[in-house]
Structure 1
Amino acid sequence: MALFDLLGRRWAMGILWQLSRGPATFRALQAACESISPAILNSRLKDLREARLVVHEGEGYLLTDLGRELYQLLEPFGGWSLEWARTMAPEHTARWKAGKAQMKAHAAAGRSGAGLPKDR
């Protein structure tokens, strides 16, 4: 259950989703995760590195093989969670549509699945 503890920490899954798109610098991750503080980002990256899901190399942070494998397992939950949110909270339809468009763009770029909306 330690994995669920890690993934349940603020921004952990969002960082994994962002890195599923490819390597990113600290600043690029901070920009992609609009409301994340530098302290939280630094702490989460440390947690993810210690779990061997993320590594820091010359071009920035990237998923390890283990991190990519985990992302492949989690990726289907992105679409499922958007559908669940749409049915549970119809007032968030605009956010759901934006997330769905983001998933399509991600898939069109040659990757399976998509990232979460920025506020997830």
Structure 2
Amino acid sequence: MTKPPKTAPRPGHRVRGSATGRPVMVLLDLLGRRWVLRILWELRGEPLTFRALQAACGGLSPSVLNARLAELRDNLIVEQRPDEGYALTRQGRELLTQLAPLTAWSEKWAKSLG
């Protein structure tokens, strides 16, 4: 028996932790998926081809990378550019900007834990 294809989390649809699919919960579900944050991090600069992105992510499996890229494309965070590879969309770059304060907070938090 084959598994049904997984779909990208979308606002208004049930996700982990939210039966109603509130946008913030959907985003947290998407960002919490394995390898998503690493993919976003590696795409913070220039576009990368599939193989270059796979290598930058430490050689994760092609099937997982394909699945994550599909989810990120479906949610308009990553785009595929002809002859360039994969890149963050304007929304994807804005998302990274919004995550920067969380990074600063986490550094302070880590220090407070000793």
Q: Do these two structures clear the TM 0.5 threshold for a shared fold by scoring above it?
A: yes
Tell me the SS of whatever aligns to 2:53. Answer: helix
More helix by share: 1
Counterpart among 44, 47, 51 of residue 71 in structure 2: 47
Tell me the SS of whatever aligns to 1:61. Answer: strand
Aligned to 1:65: 90
Query: Closer, same or farther in 2 for the Cα pair 1:17/1:43, shift >3 Å?
Result: same
Question: Moved runs in structure 1, 4+ residues, more than 2 A?
Answer: 75-88
Given residue 69 of structure 1, which amino acid in structure 2 is its aligned partner? E
Question: What is the identity percentage for the equivalent residue pairs of Structure 1 and Structure 2?
Answer: 53
Q: What are structure 2's unaligned runs of at least 5 residues?
A: 1-24
Matched, 1:24 2:48: yes
Structure 1 or 2, whichever has the larger Rg, is: 2
Q: What are structure 1's unaligned runs of at least 5 residues?
A: 91-120
TM-score scaled by structure 2? 0.68
TM-score scaled by structure 1? 0.65
Equivalenced residue count is 89
Query: Closer, same or farther in 2 for the Cα pair 1:83/1:35, shift >3 Å?
Result: farther
What is the RMSD computed on CA atoms of the aligned residues? 1.9
